[in-house]
Amino acid sequence: MKGALYIVSTPIGNLEDITLRALRILKEVDLIAAEDTRHSLKLLNHYGITKPLISYWGEKEKVRSDEVIQKINSGKSVALISDAGTPGISDPGNVLIRKAIEEGIDVVPVPGPSAFVSALCISGFSTEEFVFIGFLPAKQSQRLKALKELSFEKRTLVIYEAPHRIRETALDMSEIFLRRRAVIVKELTKLYEEIIRGDVSEIAGRLENSKIAGEYVIGVEGRQEEKTHNTDDAMKEIKLLIKKGIRRKDAVSQIAEEYGLSKKVLYDKSLAGENAL
């Protein structure tokens, strides 16, 4: 008889944010597969749970997933947990889950905390439709390209970012999203939780003087239809980009595409406005 694989969500910070069912499953399974066993021991010790642990972080996931599958096929039950939140959501776990499905093993979700859902629900932006991005590319050129593509998205955006890149990412967002409304949540559910609201440019400026620590979740309001054919707003955006050192031609091209307006008309108006000064 085969065992089962339980996908168990664990707290993203505050150890009290765990379900009664998650605690029961962790106490009943034969083995716990953890992203980082040292990190997970803090949670397990807090609740007096003593079970054999196996680590599957990084490259180990590919090798250890086969080992876990063998144990499940021998009748063992296994709980899969990540360092925080729900396994497989911008965390390891997908390799093991896919292999379990291929083997015909029962994969049982044990729902609980997820950082992007928590940040989304306090963002104040539309939750009817949203796009979860996970982590943006680490390389700036690729990140800017991704952000430019996302700038046309009408649904709310939810993005993860590491502390060592948060300032750079915020600056890149201010270049692409300009004054679109956003929220950045730092250290969600932890002692030093902080929520920064404002437009993207304002937030980028505030981060320059903010202590950077912990993980970050970024929420960005989707593109608003009412701006599409507003030439006056488009001209303001072009002036802002030019002040930031972007060439007039590039600034006009970006805003014309975003607003659905003629490049020639905007370029001529931009030149006329400057010559009138």
- For position 277, what pLDDT does the model report? 47
- For position 273, what pLDDT does the model report? 72
Task: Tally Cβ neighbours within 10 Å of residue 236.
Answer: 14
In one letter, which amino acid is 1? M
- For position 102, what pLDDT does the model report? 96
- For position 41, what pLDDT does the model report? 96
Is-contact 213 164, C-beta < 8 A? no
* Structure token digits, residue 52: 């054999």
Complete DSSP assignment for 52-82: -EEE--TTHHHHHHHHHHHHHHTT--EEEE-
- For position 225, what pLDDT does the model report? 66
- Separation of alpha carbons 12 and 84, rounded Å: 4
Residues 241-250: pLDDT tens digits? 898 889 999 8
- Closest by CA to 151, choosing from 174, 168, 123, is 174
- For position 274, what pLDDT does the model report? 67
Cα dihedral sign, 9-10-13-17? positive
CB under 8 Å to 174, separation ≥6 — which residues?
200, 201, 203, 204
In one letter, which amino acid is 55? S
- Those residues of the chain that have pLDDT short of 70 are 1-2, 225-229, 274-277
- For position 22, what pLDDT does the model report? 98
Q: What number of H helices and E strands is found in the chain?
A: 11, 10
Percent of the chain surpassing pLDDT 90: 71
SS3 content of the chain, % helix, strand, coil (to 5): 45, 20, 35
Q: Give the phi and the psi of residue 55 in degrees, each rounded to 5.
A: -90, 140
Planar angle of CA 230, 223, 274, nearest 5 degrees: 40
CA max distance for the chain: 82
Return the SS3 of 5. Answer: strand
Residues 175-227: pLDDT tens digits? 999 889 999 999 999 999 999 999 999 999 999 888 898 899 999 999 886 54
Q: Give the phi and the psi of residue 195 in degrees, each rounded to 5.
A: -120, 120
Q: What is the DSSP letter of 136?
A: P
Return the SS3 of 115. Answer: helix
